[in-house]
Structure 1
Amino acid sequence: MEPLEIRHHPPDELLLGYASGALPGGTRVVLATHLELCPDCQARVTALRALGGALLQDEAAAPLSDDALARALARIDELQAPATVALRKANPPPPLPAGAVWPRALRDASATRWRWLGPGMRWSRVTLPDAPEANVFLLRIGAGKYLPSHTHTGTELTQILYGRFHDGRALFGPGDFDLTDGDVHHQPVVQDGSECICVAAVDGKLAFDGLVARWLGGMVGM
């Protein structure tokens, strides 16, 4: 398989947050999906982790209590137990077109079947076992279709898995990453020739322009 021509990448502050393990669940899973597809960002995260390790080596050692190791291991067991249960109960992501595959970042997640969102548009709710409160979903939009014009009350992270869309700012294709917030007002339009499938995480809501679009967005939690 030929490497993807990726033009749009996460900003450095998000890569640094990923490298340090400081990102919330929804942001983390979208970033992880991008990293699976982008060797350049993988290299940047590796470099950031190495830099962080070097800085830690220069820090003075902090005293630990005698039971520090036991408490750390107990905490790890607590964190792993819910994820194991969730994995056994997980529903696999819904079917994709021939030639498309789901990212490994979603392997432990549950996802609903494809649900109707509008003519030529479907969506699926994604639940992360370690962050069930995260607002993560999949979008599947047909060729020539478009999401209603909107802005955002928070941030929206979108990773393109399949197909292409243009939102008036730029063309986004497989492997591309997009970060939008309240300063961006756009309308993603899927390009002719193929449907478009994305995974997205939203902090806040999408603020749709039209009344019907706002009603539909509220119904699905966007």
Structure 2
Amino acid sequence: MNYWLPTPRRTVNALAGAAIMVVSFWVTPSLAGDPFRPSNPRNIGDKTEAAFESIFKQGDYKTAKDYLQQAEASEGTDPLIYAMLAAIAYTERELETLNTYATKTRTTAEQLITSDPLRGNLYTAVGHFLEGTYNFEKEGPVRALSKLQKVFQYIDAAKDIDGTDPELNLLTGHMDLMLAVNVPFADPADAINKLETHGYPKYLAYRGIAVAYRDLKKYNQAMDYVERALAMTPDNP
């Protein structure tokens, strides 16, 4: 993976931001509980699906947390549950809770590798992302940097399985965009194309592209993608 890495602080800021952006933006599922794949969906549990809708369709975080706690008890083999709980903890600045669920994301994902190698590797990378975010918040960039090699290792493993997978491209597209707008000389064009071509659901891909164009000060393009996202999810608060 050819990532150009500048100073430790800027790199960790970009990667931590990407991780939180991605796990915080998951939205209403489209088919069989899977918000990422319009065909050949993975089986995501009903409570996890309900949590998606509560957060991102109704904007009801309290109900979403209730659903996620139920999902943890009955559908707890999916690392997505713990990534969502970690993201909520981060937004609420509950760093120890973030750390707990970051580790559960990683360990659950490691167990998933044997049955679903793509998602297992992908969420193992997310778990390392989130643990690195905790390390950055508590100790600064030096320790957090030790997580980067692991993140890229597991993302590359997922890419080797299916480089066109929508869930994978949504995550790595957002990550690449965060790097591109925070790192000098990085080109966001490939990341924008990745989200446009392979990212799903589309309204989430469009939100990422809108943020990228906003940060690049290309406001007309940003508003275009804002309008596209709003057209698909007009009731999202």
The bucket for the TM-score relative to the shorter chain is under 0.3
TM-score normalised by structure 2 residue count: 0.24
- Considering fraction of residues, name the structure with more helix: 2
- Considering fraction of residues, name the structure with more strand: 1
TM-score normalised by structure 1 residue count: 0.25
Which structure would you say has the larger Rg? 1
